[in-house]
A = this chain, B = another copy of it.
Amino acid sequence: MAAEAEQGFRPLDEASLLAYIKATPALSSRLGGGGSLDSIEIKEVGDGNLNFVYHFDRAMSLMGMRYIEPPHIILRKGLIAGVEYPLLADHMSDYMAKTLFFTSLLYNNTTDHKNGVAKYSANVEMCRLTEQVVFSDPYRVSKFNRWTSPYLDKDAEAVRQDDELKLEVAGLKSMFIERAQALIHGDLHTGSIMVTTGSTQVIDPEFGFYGPMGFDIGAFLGNLILAYYAQNGHADQANDRKAYKKWILKTIEESWNLFQKKFVELWNKHKEGNGEAYLPDIYNNSKLVSVAQKKYMTNLFHDSLGFGSAKMIRRIVGIAHVEDLESIKDASKRAECERAALSCAKEILKGRRQFETIEQVIEHIQSFDQD
Residues 275-292 (chain A) with a chain B CB within 8 angstroms: 276-279, 281-285, 287-288, 291-292
List the number of copies, as a whole number.
Answer: 2
| A281: contacting residue among B124, B141, B281, B295, CB under 8 A | B141
B163 touches A276 (CB 8 A): no
Residues 136-181 (chain A) with a chain B CB within 8 angstroms: 136, 139-141, 163, 166-167, 170-171, 173-174, 177-181
Nearest-neighbor residue (CB-CB) of A139 within chain B: B282
B281 touches A163 (CB 8 A): no
B283 touches A170 (CB 8 A): yes
B277 touches A173 (CB 8 A): yes
A125 touches B140 (CB 8 A): no
A164 smallest CB distance to B (angstroms): 9
Interface presence of A224 (CB below 8 A)? no
A-side interface residues, number (CB < 8 Å): 46
Knowing A110-B127, A110-B131, A179-B179, say if A279 contacts B136 (CB, 8 Å): yes
Interface presence of A128 (CB below 8 A)? yes
Nearest-neighbor residue (CB-CB) of A113 within chain B: B177
Knowing A105-B178, A118-B121, A118-B122, say if A166 contacts B131 (CB, 8 Å): no
Complex interface: chain B residues within 8 A of A177 (CB): 105, 110, 113-114, 276-277
Interface presence of A370 (CB below 8 A)? no
In the bound complex, what is the Cα–Cα distance between A288 and B285 (angstroms)?
45
A182 smallest CB distance to B (angstroms): 9
| A292: contacting residue among B118, B139, B170, CB under 8 A | B170
In the bound complex, what is the Cα–Cα distance between A283 and B171 (angstroms)?
13
Complex interface: chain B residues within 8 A of A282 (CB): 136, 139-140, 166
In the bound complex, what is the Cα–Cα distance between A19 and B299 (angstroms)?
60
Interface presence of A115 (CB below 8 A)? yes
Knowing A177-B276, A282-B139, say if A163 contacts B105 (CB, 8 Å): no
In addition to A117-B117, A163-B291, 7 A-B residue pairs with Cβ atoms within 8 Å of each other are A105-B174, A110-B124, A115-B124, A166-B283, A167-B295, A178-B180, A180-B180
